[in-house]
Amino acid sequence: MNSENKISIYLVEDYLLIRKSLVYMLKQNKKFNILGDFESAEDFLDVFRKKPSDIVIMDLGLPGINGLKATLKVKEISPDTKVIILTSHEEEKEVMATLSAGASAYCLKDVASNELARIITDVYRGVVWLHPQISHVANSKMPKPVSTDLNSLYEINKDLNLTERELETLHLVVEGKTNSEIAQKMNISSHTAKAHVGSILNKLSVSDRVQAAVKAVRTKIV
C-alpha cells in the first residue's frame, strides 16, 4: 500500500461513461487512491512507466494496444502490480490467455460496485478471482499433471526437444497470437506457423493452444 496507506489504482477503459462511473464509485472508498483513468493503453503505459500502482483495472477490448498486450507490459514494468480485467468478453481463450499473461482477476462488467471494491482489496492481498459466470473455464482448461509425485506434478520431460523456432512460437502462443500473427511476427508462412503449433501441442501432450499456454507458464518453459 502506498504512503497514504491506500491502495493505488489506475483505470483503463475506452468507454467514457463506464470509466467515469467507475472512477466516481471507487473514489467513494477511503481505502483507494485513484491515480488516473485512461481511454487507451498507450496513454496509460506512458504514465505507468513513471509511476506504477498497486492495482490496474483494465478493459480487454481497447483500441490500439489491447488489454492482453497491456497486461503483459504492466507485468514486465512492475511485476508486483496486480491487474484486474474488467470486460464484457467471455470467450474462454481470452480468459485463459489473460490469466497466463499475469492478470489476477477476470471480472465481467455486470459485477456490482460493492463486489468490485471487495475484489480489489482481495486481489491486492494476493487472491486470484474469476467471475462466477466464467470460472468454469479454468477448471475445463486446467492442464493435467504429468506426475502424481507432489514434488514434480508439472515437471516436463526433458526430452521434449522443442526447437528454437518452436520455443519462439510457444512464446507467441502464450501472448495469445493467432497463427496468422505468428507467421507475420516470425516471417514464415501461415502453414509453417500451424505446423509449429501442431508440433508443440503434440510434444506438450495437450489438445489445444490454450492448454499449451497454461502448461508452458505453469512449468516455466517460457
pLDDT, tens digit (0-9, with 9 covering 90-100), for 62-77: 999 999 999 999 999 9
Write down the pLDDT at residue 2. 46
Same domain assignment for residues 109 and 23: yes
- 37 with 72, same domain: the answer is yes
Q: Which residues pair with 36 in a beta bridge?
A: 10
Whether pLDDT at 45 is above 80:
yes
Q: What is the mean pLDDT of residues 123-148?
A: 74
* Inside any domain, residue 2: no
Residue 66 lies in a domain: yes
**Closest-CA residue to 211 (of 138, 106, 146):** 138
**DSSP sequence for 154-191:** TPPPGGG---HHHHHHHHHHHTT--HHHHHHHHT--HH
Same domain, 127 and 186: no
Same domain, 15 and 94: yes
Residue 1 has pLDDT above 60, yes or no: no
Q: Are residues 48 and 132 in the same domain?
A: yes
Host domain of residue 200? 143-218
Alpha-carbon span 208 to 195, nearest angstrom: 13
- The model carries a pTM of 0.65
Q: Quick check: 152 pLDDT over 90? A: no
Least confident piece of the model among 24-33, 116-125, 133-142, 151-160? 151-160
Beta partners for 11?
A: 37, 57
Domain count within the chain: 2
From 140, 166, 192, the end of a domain falls on 140
pLDDT mean over 178-185: 92
48 pLDDT above the threshold of 50: yes
Which three cell numbers mark 203? 510434444
Q: Is the pLDDT of residue 145 over 90?
A: no
